[in-house]
Amino acid sequence: MDSYDLLVECCRLWATYPCNLQRPSRKRYLLEALHTQFKDSKARLFDSDLENICFVEPSEGVKKYSEEVIGCPSDLQTHLFQNRKDPYYCIIFINSEDSRSPLNCSHESFSLLGSFYQIPESFLDLVSAFGFTREPKSYHTTGFDSFDTLDEPKGSTLEILRLGRSGRDHVVQYLLRAIEKSTGPKKETTWNIRQMAVHHRYDFVTGKSFWISMKSNGLMEERTKQAISEDPALRPTAGDGLPRSFAATLQMHLMHLDWCDESWQECITDFEKKIRSVLTKAKAASLNHSTDSSEVPLMKALRRNTHITETDVSEKKTASGLKYWLGLRKGLMPCFRAGGQKRAAPPHLLPVVAEKSMVPPANLADDFSKKLYSLMVLGTFSFEEVQHLHHLGEQLENLRVVLQLDRQTLRDVTDHYQDLASRDCFAADMMKACKRDVASFTRRVERIQKNLEIRLTQIESMMAWLQEGKTLFDGILQYRSVQVSHVFTESSHIQSEKMERIAHKTEQETISMHVVTFVTLAFLPGTFVAAFFQSGLVEVNKASDDVRGSVVFYTGAFKLFSVICLPLMFITFALWFMLYKILARRAQRREMEESV
């Protein structure tokens, strides 16, 4: 079997990709583990219902390129195995709707592409950055890989003459991430980190180039098509020679690498505005309040009376945070006034009405106004703002990681091409012709690296600024908690003093009640006897000189009295007992409901 027949057999075993590769770079057991992992992830990585693989190849038409869209594996197999050699350049676009959606191709089609073009197994590590997920992907997943066969003996290279493949080539593949601007569901500006994976192969003998571009939207596909249509340097032909085709691959790389440096400045400016809008309030907040101004609504309220209704509070045109603390004003005002009094022992016993009608001195009112103003200012700070700052800090950390990893990928790309140009196996005439292009490419990539370093410095500075703001916010929230606790502690202490005065007053009143009760009990027997003698049941004989004959008892009248009085007494006690049982049962039921 020749090399082409081996390739056909390899494609027939597409289901075992990457174990079916003819020149794998890893051991067999690693390939099997990678195959198992790839097979288990196919439901997450690919969506066969949305298959839409785009092939861009040379053409002499109006658009200067031909475009063919593949919608199923059978169409892909027909396209790959048509009786022809590989085109001078071929760019395959596989996209996804967004950074969390699966790729618009099937597992079978991708495995068939990998088998036909002998895409190395290391590219699967970059493909794993795509696929369906509910949460954002780990932004530390980037990568770079490259190899070439310039130094390999001819027997070790994969030469397929029927397809025009010499086997003398080099492979570059990398994964990049960048920030892209989009619009949210509420028409707000959102910034999303999106990924792009690139696989590139260049043949040093034929000058043919092959590309696979995977992007989390169709942006790079549109740009590439437009650039090929407008720029002749990106559509070389076999007659242009190797130097021009090699330079075209460098220009194509620059299109991908320039994407890393886009939109960063606008994104950083937007984040700075969001952070500043939250931190400015914290830095500008003043807890000092001048009580000399006659226009302060709280001072006017203090001067009016001690009873401030909720209507008075609702008439103040304040923010929602201020309204919360104004709502507490009615309950806190008596506490603050009483808190300013000297707590001498024993306290004065004042009538309750007199306490309610007291007007606080001016200095106590000013002190209360300062405390209330501080609480009102502190009430405008919420925990949601701290959460927002934490969310911004998390996003900035993700951006920082992306910038650092992209810089490393750019360095790897530059090092690869500089090393390639310095190799002894690199053709001298081609090296001389491409020296200027490689130098220009290196300078452009280094410029992109420096730009990313500048963005990285900006983000790190913003993260330090944000951390200081979070510390300030934490301090403000802690200070507010302490102040509120202090106010309510003082209020509780004042209430306990009031209860102490009430208890003292109640004790004195209880002594008076004891005296009244004692006198009442002392005269109660005499009162009962006097009432009995005056009821008409007995009659006093004033003419009698003896005790026995001094009282005449009427038995019939007593019977009538007993018949009427005793049932009424029984009915009264029965009604009271029934009412007592009903109330006791209700109280017991209420206790059971509260316990549940």
Confidence at residue 350, expressed as pLDDT on a 0 to 100 scale: 36
Q: What is the pLDDT of residue 138?
A: 56
Structure tokens at 354: 């007199």
Instruction: Say what the pLDDT of residue 60 is.
Output: 83
**324 pLDDT above the threshold of 90:** no
What pairs with residue 199 in β-bridges?
173, 212
Q: Where are the domains of the chain?
A: 46-111+132-259, 286-380, 535-596
- Give the residue among 109, 90, 2 at the shortest CA–CA distance from 47: 109
Cα–Cα distance for residue pair 298/256, rounded to 1 Å: 63
- Do the strands 65-70 and 189-203 form a parallel or antiparallel pair, or are they unpaired? unpaired
Burial class (CB in 10 A: 0-12, 13-18, 19+), 534: exposed
DSSP 195-220: EEEEEEEEETTT--EEEEEEESSSHH
Give me the pLDDT at residue 284, please. Answer: 62
What does the DSSP 8-state code read for residue 144?
E
Residue 91: pLDDT band by 50, 70, 90 thresholds?
very high
Q: Is the pLDDT of residue 319 over 60?
A: no
Residue 8 confidence class, pLDDT cut points 50, 70, 90: very high
* CB within 8 Å of 246: residues ≥ 6 apart: 202, 207, 430, 434, 437
Rounded Cα distance, 80 and 335, in Å: 86
Which pLDDT value is given to residue 425? Answer: 79
Q: Is residue 346 reached through a cis peptide bond, with omega within 30 degrees of 0 on the bond before it?
A: yes
Q: pLDDT, tens digit, for every residue of 92-116?
A: 999 999 888 999 999 999 999 999 9
Closest CA to 123 of 102, 147, 151: 147
Amino acid 354: pLDDT: 37
Phi, psi of 128 (to 5 degrees): -65, -15
Nearest to 17 by CA among 83, 116, 94, 127: 116
Cα–Cα dist 538/278, whole Å: 94
What average pLDDT is seen over the chain? 82
Contacts of 375 (CB under 8 A, 6+ apart): 325, 328, 480, 483, 484, 487
List, in order, residues 6 or more apart from 314 with CB less than 8 Å away: 323
Kindly tell me if the per-residue pLDDT of 454 is higher than 60.
yes
Cα(293)–Cα(415) distance, rounded to whole angstroms? 70
Tokens of 114: 């990998």
DSSP state of 97: S
